[in-house]
Structure 1
């Protein structure tokens, strides 16, 4: 059993930050000469993508929860323990 639920928006944000860190490390090591203006759009675009993924997953979870609630009500079952 999982200890926590999967949050895809946080995973996307983490991958973007790891990519930025790798880019800065490569630039600092001299393996890649990237201008600083390259990193700002990648950072902002990554945050926008993470927010979009979070919003979509939130909407899907709410839709799934609504279906489960309506299915429970249509069966006439109760969730109370005896």
Structure 2
């Protein structure tokens, strides 16, 4: 199975859209009464939070993947402090 990146922004958006669907499914089933305007703040708020989460995730991943001087993957420096190859 191929590995893929986790997208927290899509997870947040999916959660809020699913929450809106559950609220209106409960209203249609007669379990509770939901006003028609409940969907507007849920969907817009969820999309705004999803966008902020995606922006933050992108910034963190970009910062983490940029190679710094001395921290490049092929430039690993190991310390021999306290480790000697001699047996006494």
* Shorter-normalised TM range: 0.7 to 0.9
Q: Which has the higher contact order (CA 8 A, sep 6+)?
A: 1
Match of 1:39 in 2: 39
Superposition deviation, residue 3 in structure 1:
2.0
Number of aligned positions between the proteins:
74
* Structure 1 stretches of at least 4 aligned residues deviating more than 3 Å after TM superposition: none
Unaligned runs of 5+ in 2: 77-88
Deviation at 1:42, TM superposition (A): 0.7
Deviation of 1:32 after TM superposition, in Å, equals 1.3
Supply the distance in 2 between the matched residues of 1:32 and 1:40 (Cα, whole angstroms).
Answer: 18
1:2-81 equivalences under 5 Å are 3-66=3-66, 69-70=67-68, 71-72=71-72, 75=75
Between Structure 1 and Structure 2, whose CA radius of gyration is higher?
2
> Root-mean-square deviation (CA), in Å?
2.0
Q: TM-score, normalised by structure 1?
A: 0.80
In the alignment, the residues of structure 2 paired with residue 58 and residue 5 of structure 1 have an alpha-carbon distance, to the nearest angstrom, of 11
In 1, the alpha carbon distance for the partners of 2:39 and 2:45 equals 10
Unaligned runs of 5+ in 1: 77-82
Question: In structure 1, what is the Cα distance between the partners aligned to 2:25 and 2:37?
Answer: 16
